[in-house]
């Protein structure tokens, strides 16, 4: 029987350890978490999964108190903690890890733990807190680096330190947010074994995770969020095997398969417009891209697909020069561009419609657009502006309105239009469907099809498989930062490995 690390007694549970009712979070017109009701019993580990933008991390923030609820309640062991802040909730027994580890980098590993330990220690002596923290370091495999600077640790050990700091709070309820993110296979296996061993040490665990191995091997039950709503719950093996859950991840739950479009076949004798060769990206200790090869021909639409955390956005940012390569090479329009400034890439004819829209909210629609055509000359800028208004007539109607006055879908139109104002040879579209209603996404993709017909090449970063394949000539599917599958839309859609790349294999926990 392993020695317990915490003095907090685990009393017989009369009420669930965690009980949330109608939990809701709104940001302006966006509902990030929409009326979620669930409970977690003592001794239980609950998994929370869902596609990118489903509201998972917001849900964890609502439970920890880092985010205030717009409606609903949170009860811990029968006590209403809805209106209590994070420090009080941690005193009462809620410990949390963050997706990106946030240690005090210039302090030692032990000092990081002592800060958390003293916060939860009450009248405990410093010597007792220190002894308890050393026990936690030993239990989490960090005792050998107790006096090392936390900022110098590799990613796996920083993940372990994030977990150790949460354990130092003596939690009844442990919230783990994407603890598997950025880890390679053997590191995931290490963290899984640690979580499983710690189940005897805390009353209950909630894991938000996109690495399905962590979910299948650690969780008794799993719930699925999509557009902030709880759409499925049950034993983990049953949820993972549910075709409706796979449909949410693959994007087939809310969209009907699009009518086939004519496909372009690149001329094998012509150099690609964009060529990525053996690309590796490591930043913040995360090994995000591992040996990726990718081509986009002139006028071709290539979909870059994969589950949340697969490395799609990182690869897109590396192509545009926003993230440096650790090794490898990127060529665009006949020039090597890795290591160069982003404005050089833009001058060669690459535009990037980034995830999150990133428009200038205080500027008008037309001012946003004209900024992207700076230096093109008045007549050329007017011509490009007219072309954008042809694709998006609604923007012409709202040309004098501020960016903040637009709806989410209209802001995305503006972001796409702004990318077109540079007259690009290739546009990277990164998750343009994120957080939008299906009918709005359909309209955006109709606009992309019109743009495609003008000969503009596209690298289409999408989690929604059906949307991405509806427009693509070819597709790549990433997992753990590697290309796991590539080919024509038909080949990718019908490949037997596709489902497992998004949601894992049913029964994998066995």
Nearest to 53 by CA among 356, 263, 478, 400: 356
Separation between Cα atoms, residue 246 and residue 50, nearest integer Å: 10
pLDDT tens by residue, 137-175: 988 889 999 999 988 888 778 888 988 988 888 899 999
Separation between Cα atoms, residue 343 and residue 370, nearest integer Å: 17
Report, as an integer, the average pLDDT of 2-28. Answer: 69
User: Higher confidence at residue 28 or residue 222?
Assistant: 222
Across 360-509, where does the E strand assignment appear?
A: 426-430, 457-462, 474-479, 482-487
Model confidence at 121, pLDDT cuts 50, 70, 90, reads low
Nearest to 158 by CA among 291, 286, 294: 286
* 441 pLDDT above the threshold of 90: no
Given a contact cutoff of 8 angstroms between Cβ atoms, the answer to whether 172 and 76 are in contact is: yes
How crowded is residue 307: how many other Cβ atoms within 10 Å of its Cβ? 24
How crowded is residue 234: how many other Cβ atoms within 10 Å of its Cβ? 15
Given a contact cutoff of 8 angstroms between Cβ atoms, the answer to whether 466 and 251 are in contact is: yes
Q: Is 465 left (phi over 0), alpha (psi -120 to 50) or beta?
A: alpha
Predicted local confidence at residue 331, as pLDDT: 95
**Lowest mean per-residue pLDDT among 108-117, 186-195, 355-364, 416-425:** 355-364
Separation between Cα atoms, residue 75 and residue 22, nearest integer Å: 12
* 11 pLDDT above the threshold of 70: no
Predicted local confidence at residue 53, as pLDDT: 72
Residue with the two structure tokens 């372009």: 264
* 197 pLDDT above the threshold of 80: yes
Separation between Cα atoms, residue 12 and residue 4, nearest integer Å: 17
Given a contact cutoff of 8 angstroms between Cβ atoms, the answer to whether 306 and 485 are in contact is: no
Q: Which residues are CB-contacts of 422 (< 8 A; sequence separation ≥ 6)?
A: 346, 349, 351, 372, 373
Q: How remote is the C-alpha of 52 from its chain's centroid?
A: 5
Separation between Cα atoms, residue 413 and residue 401, nearest integer Å: 14
Q: Which alpha helices (H) appear in 48-108, and where do they start and end?
A: 56-64, 86-92
* 192 pLDDT above the threshold of 60: yes
In angstroms, how far is the first alpha carbon of the chain from the final one?
Answer: 24
Domain 18-241: which topology?
Answer: Rossmann fold (3.40.50)
Can you tell me whether residue 270 is helix, strand or coil? coil
Separation between Cα atoms, residue 144 and residue 161, nearest integer Å: 12
Model confidence at 7, pLDDT cuts 50, 70, 90, reads very low
pLDDT tens by residue, 293-347: 999 999 999 999 987 778 898 999 999 998 899 999 999 999 999 988 888 898 9
How crowded is residue 196: how many other Cβ atoms within 10 Å of its Cβ? 13
In the structure encoding, which two tokens stand for residue 306, read together?
């994969």
User: Higher confidence at residue 152 or residue 357?
Assistant: 152
* Mean pLDDT of all residues belonging to the chain: 85
In the structure encoding, which two tokens stand for residue 84, read together?
């209590």
Report, as an integer, the average pLDDT of 4-10. Answer: 44
Predicted local confidence at residue 310, as pLDDT: 83
Domain(s) labelled CATH 3.40.50.300 in the chain stretch across 18-241, 274-503
Domain 274-503: which topology?
Answer: Rossmann fold (3.40.50)
Burial class of residue 95 (count of CB atoms within 10 Å of its CB; 0-12, 13-18, 19+): buried
Burial class of residue 231 (count of CB atoms within 10 Å of its CB; 0-12, 13-18, 19+): middle
Separation between Cα atoms, residue 107 and residue 133, nearest integer Å: 15
Nearest to 360 by CA among 317, 308, 401, 404: 404
Report, as an integer, the average pLDDT of 211-235. Answer: 90
**Lowest mean per-residue pLDDT among 42-46, 329-333, 355-359, 495-499:** 355-359
324-342 as b/e: b if 16+ CB within 10 A: ebeebebbbbeeebbeeee
Q: What is the DSSP letter of 150?
A: G
Report, as an integer, the average pLDDT of 117-139. Answer: 83
Predicted local confidence at residue 259, as pLDDT: 52
For residue 379, report the phi and psi dihedrals to the nearest 5 degrees. -65, -45
pTM of the predicted structure, to 2 decimals: 0.66
How crowded is residue 192: how many other Cβ atoms within 10 Å of its Cβ? 20
Residue with the two structure tokens 């050990």: 157
Predicted local confidence at residue 437, as pLDDT: 65
* 510 pLDDT above the threshold of 50: no
């Amino acid at each position: 029987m392993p020695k317990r690390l915490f003095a907090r007694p685990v009393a017989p549970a009369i009420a669930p350890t965690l009980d949330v009712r109608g939990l809701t979070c709104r940001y302006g017109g966006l509902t990030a978490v929409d009326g979620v009701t669930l409970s977690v019993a003592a001794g239980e580990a609950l998994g929370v999964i869902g596609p990118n933008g489903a509201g998972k991390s917001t849900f964890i923030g609502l439970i920890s108190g880092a985010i205030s609820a717009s409606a609903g309640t949170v009860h811990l062991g029968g006590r209403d903690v809805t209106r209590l802040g994070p420090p009080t909730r941690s005193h009462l027994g809620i410990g949390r890890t963050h997706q990106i580890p946030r240690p005090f980098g210039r302090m030692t590993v032990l000092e990081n733990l002592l800060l958390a330990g003293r916060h939860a220690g009450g009248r405990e002596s410093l010597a007792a807190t220190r002894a308890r923290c050393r026990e936690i370091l030993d239990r989490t495999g960090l005792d050998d680096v107790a006096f090392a600077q936390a900022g110098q640790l590799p990613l796996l050990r920083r993940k372990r330190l994030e977990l150790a700091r949460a354990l130092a709070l003596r939690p009844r309820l442990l919230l783990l947010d994407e603890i598997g993110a950025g880890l390679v296979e053997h590191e995931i296996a290490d963290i899984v074994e640690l979580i499983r061993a710690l189940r005897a040490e805390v009353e209950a665990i909630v894991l938000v995770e996109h690495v399905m191995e962590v979910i299948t091997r650690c969780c008794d039950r799993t719930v699925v969020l999509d557009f902030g709503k709880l759409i499925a719950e049950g034993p983990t093996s049953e949820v993972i095997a549910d075709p409706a859950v796979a449909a949410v991840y693959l994007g087939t739950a809310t969209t009907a398969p699009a009518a086939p479009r004519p496909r372009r076949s690149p001329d094998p004798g012509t150099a690609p417009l964009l060529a990525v060769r053996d690309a590796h990206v490591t930043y913040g200790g995360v090994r995000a891209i591992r040996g990726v090869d990718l081509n986009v021909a002139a006028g071709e639409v290539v979909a870059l697909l994969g589950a949340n955390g697969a490395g799609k956005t990182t690869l897109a940012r590396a192509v545009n020069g926003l993230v440096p390569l650790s090794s490898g090479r990127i060529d665009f329009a006949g020039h090597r561009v890795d290591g160069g400034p982003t404005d050089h890439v833009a001058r060669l004819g690459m535009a990037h419609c980034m995830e999150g829209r990133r428009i200038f909210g205080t500027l008008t629609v037309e001012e946003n657009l004209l900024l992207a055509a700076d230096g093109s000359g008045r007549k050329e800028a007017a011509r490009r502006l007219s072309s954008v208004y042809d694709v998006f007539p609604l923007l012409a109607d709202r040309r004098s309105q501020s960016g903040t006055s637009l709806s989410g879908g209209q802001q995305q139109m503006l972001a796409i239009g702004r990318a077109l104002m540079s007259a690009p040879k290739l546009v990277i579209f990164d998750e343009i469907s994120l957080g939008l209603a299906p009918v709005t996404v359909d309209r955006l993709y109709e606009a992309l099809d019109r743009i495609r017909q003008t000969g503009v090449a596209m690298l289409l970063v999408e989690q929604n498989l059906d949307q991405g394949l509806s427009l693509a000539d070819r597709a790549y599917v990433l997992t753990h930062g590697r290309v796991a599958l590539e080919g024509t839309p038909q080949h990718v859609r019908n490949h037997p490995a596709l489902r497992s790349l998004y949601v894992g294999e049913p029964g994998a926990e066995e």
